Amino acid sequence: MESGPAIFAGTVFALFGAGLLTWTTTRLRHGRPVAHGVSPVASATLATVAGVVALALGAWCLTRV
């Protein structure tokens, strides 16, 4: 019973992190801004860090099953 929420949370975090990293990479390769009105380097860095943290949280949740 307790593994259900961990599996759900881990999957959500992993999908969000992978999606965010994919989206950020695609935006950077096409030369488009990651966020409007913000420094391109700062927005790309923050999005990348958030994606990696989400993937790490997803992996951590899934190892607790």
CA distance 2 to 64: 10
User: Nearest-CA neighbor of 54 among 21, 14, 9?
Assistant: 14
CB 24 within 8 A of CB 47: yes
Q: Flag whether the pTM goes above 0.85.
A: yes
Residue type, 61: C
Q: To 5 degrees, how large is the angle CA 15–CA 16–CA 19?
A: 80
What pLDDT is stored for residue 3 in this prediction? 86
What pLDDT is stored for residue 27 in this prediction? 96
pLDDT along the chain (65 residues), means of 10: 87 97 96 92 96 97 89
What pLDDT is stored for residue 25 in this prediction? 97
What pLDDT is stored for residue 1 in this prediction? 59
What pLDDT is stored for residue 2 in this prediction? 76
For helices 40-63 and 3-29, the axis angle rounded to 10 degrees is 160
